């Protein structure tokens, strides 16, 4: 079970950290999506910082399990909010992207709670 937890957390942290880096680089496709969703450009760096903190917290959770639980729970809330934001903007075809991250974060949380 711990091996599955390890793999899921590494995939989640890597993907989330890559998404944070894309936010910090202010890639045009992300800025375009933010416009479509009705989010101001000024939010891109804070949103990237939250993603980066969540990813690093997941990794720190290997040493401090409570931190990993908090980070995973935070990412679940973050990506649930992202799903709601995309749905509110009626860009249903885009729901798959935050949906995948939400599933990974949820898996990280669930596996941390049951892994020894």
pLDDT at 34: 93
What pTM value is reported for the model? 0.93
**Which is nearest to 94 in space by CA: 104, 83, 103?**
83
Q: What is the average pLDDT value for the chain, to the nearest integer? A: 95
pLDDT at 115: 79
Neighbours of 73 (CB within 10 A): 18
Domain boundaries, the chain: 2-114
**Angle between helical axes of 96-114 and 65-88 (0-180°, round to 10):** 160
- Split at pLDDT 50, 70, 90, the class of 67 is very high
């Amino acid at each position: 079970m711990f091996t599955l937890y390890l793999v899921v957390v590494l995939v989640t942290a890597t993907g989330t950290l890559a998404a944070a880096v894309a936010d910090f680089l202010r890639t045009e496709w992300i800025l375009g999506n933010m416009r479509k969703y009705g989010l101001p450009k000024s939010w891109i760096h804070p949103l990237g910082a939250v993603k980066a903190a969540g990813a690093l917290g997941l990794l720190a959770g290997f040493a401090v399990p409570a931190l990993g639980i908090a980070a995973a729970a935070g990412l679940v809330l973050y990506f649930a909010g992202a799903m709601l934001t995309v749905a509110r903007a009626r860009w249903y075809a885009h729901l798959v992207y935050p949906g995948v991250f939400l599933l990974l974060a949820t898996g990280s949380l669930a596996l941390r709670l049951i892994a020894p």
